[in-house]
Amino acid sequence: NAGVMQNPRHLVRRRGQEARLRCSPMKGHSHVYWYRQLPEEGLKFMVYLQKENIIDESGMPKERFSAEFPKEGPSILRIQQVVRGDSAAYFCASSPQGRGQPQHFGDGTRLSIL
Amino acid sequence: GESVGLHLPTLSVQEGDNSIINCAYSNSASDYFIWYKQESGKGPQFIIDIRSNMDKRQGQRVTVLLNKTVKHLSLQIAATQPGDSAVYFCAENWGETSGSRLTFGEGTQLTVNP
């Protein structure tokens, strides 16, 4: 089952460290989305990327957060100098095309900040 | 502002009964909707979608109804099974200005009693 693959599944970091979250989209999908979910809440959009391009990053904090989707390899969500408030589940989704298409999700990365 | 919300945070049903999960949205420009199922520790799983030019769509044991007049969306699950126990989210996509992002509701916890 070549679904959306995310790793690591769990990541523990101390305050001030960097967190790197990886996402490999489904085969044939060139659109990638990152969402964040706090406990008992819905998912909140962060960023939308296509290969080598950031299309919409309006949901991502301006500082400390960045995302990329290189020509080769997985999409990366990077959080620098993590703080306790960054603790959440981060989900990646992919779709074959953009708007108006179902997005298929991975099982997420649970980020815990000590 | 625009929002997607659910009327009931929890729903408990007996195995074999039909379940109805509701969702209200406030943005009349919304034109694409998706229902997701999320089990504990996993990512959202696509169930069914519907576009605004339709008012009903059926899948396997599930039906989505869209009432644009009152901005209401519902998910009906026939012959509910214990494996249906999960949190259900509706998500919407609207207009060109929001791009491809999905806006999620808070979720409804469905519990199926044997």
Mean pLDDT, all residues of chain B:
88
Kindly state the average pLDDT of the residues A41-60.
91
> Is B50 in contact with B33 (CB distance < 8 Å)?
yes
Compute the C-alpha angle A14/A93/B30, nearest 5°.
Answer: 120
Contact B104 A43 (CB under 8 A): yes
Beta-carbon contacts of A113 under 8 Å, excluding residues fewer than 6 positions away, are A12, A13, A14, A15, A82, A83, A84, A85, A86, A87
The arithmetic mean of pLDDT across residues A83-93, rounded, is 96
Which residue's entry shows tokens 């699950």? B77
Q: A86-110: b or e for each residue (b if 16 or more CB lie within 10 Å)?
A: bbbbbbbbbbeebbebbbbbbbbbb
| Rounded average pLDDT over A80-89 | 96
Q: Which residues of A touch B (CB under 8 A)?
A: 4, 6, 31, 33, 35, 40-45, 48, 55-56, 59, 91, 93, 95, 98-108
Short-list A54, A41, A18, A50, CA closest to A89: A41
Q: Which residues have C-beta within 8 Å of that of residue B39, sequence separation ≥ 6?
A: B45, B86, B87
B37: number of Cβ within 10 Å: 21
- pLDDT number for residue B3: 39
User: Mean pLDDT throughout A78-105?
Assistant: 93
The residue type at A98? G
Q: What is the pLDDT of residue A23?
A: 98
Which among B42, B49, B89 is the nearest to A102, CB-wise? B49
Collect all residues of chain B within an 8 Å Cβ-Cβ radius of residue A105: 36, 43-46
Residue range B75-83: average pLDDT? 96
Under DSSP, is residue B88 helix (H, G, I), strand (E, B) or coil? strand
Task: Report which of B39, B103, B73, B42 is spatially closest to residue A103, judged by C-alpha positions.
Answer: B103
Give the rounded distance of the alpha carbon of A79 from its chain centre.
10
Percent over 90 (pLDDT), chain B: 71
Q: Which residues of A touch B95 (CB under 8 A)?
A: none
Q: Tell me whether residues B89 and A104 touch, CB distance under 8 A.
A: no
Q: Which of A4, A43, A69, A105 to mutate to test the interface with B (most CBs of B within 10 A)?
A: A43
Confidence of residue B2 (pLDDT cuts 50, 70, 90): very low
CB contact under 8 A, A55 and B44: no
Beta strand ranges found along A1-114 (DSSP E): 5-7, 10-13, 19-24, 31-37, 43-50, 53-56, 65-68, 75-79, 88-95, 104-105, 109-113
Q: Is the pLDDT of residue A22 over 70?
A: yes
Q: Is the pLDDT of residue A104 over 70?
A: yes
pLDDT at residue A19, as a whole number:
98
From the list A98, A101, A106, the residue facing B43 with the nearest CB is A106
Q: CB–CB of B100 and A98 under 8 A?
A: yes
Q: Do A44 and B104 touch (CB under 8 A)?
A: yes
- Contact yes or no for B44 and A91 at CB 8 A: yes
DSSP A16: T
pLDDT at A54 over 50: yes
Q: How confident is the model at residue B27 (pLDDT cuts 50, 70, 90)?
A: confident
> Which of A42, A55, A101 has its CB closest to that of B99?
A55
Contact of B88 with A26, CB cutoff 8 Å: no
CA separation, residue A97 to residues A31, A53, A59, A92, B30 (Å): 6, 14, 20, 15, 18
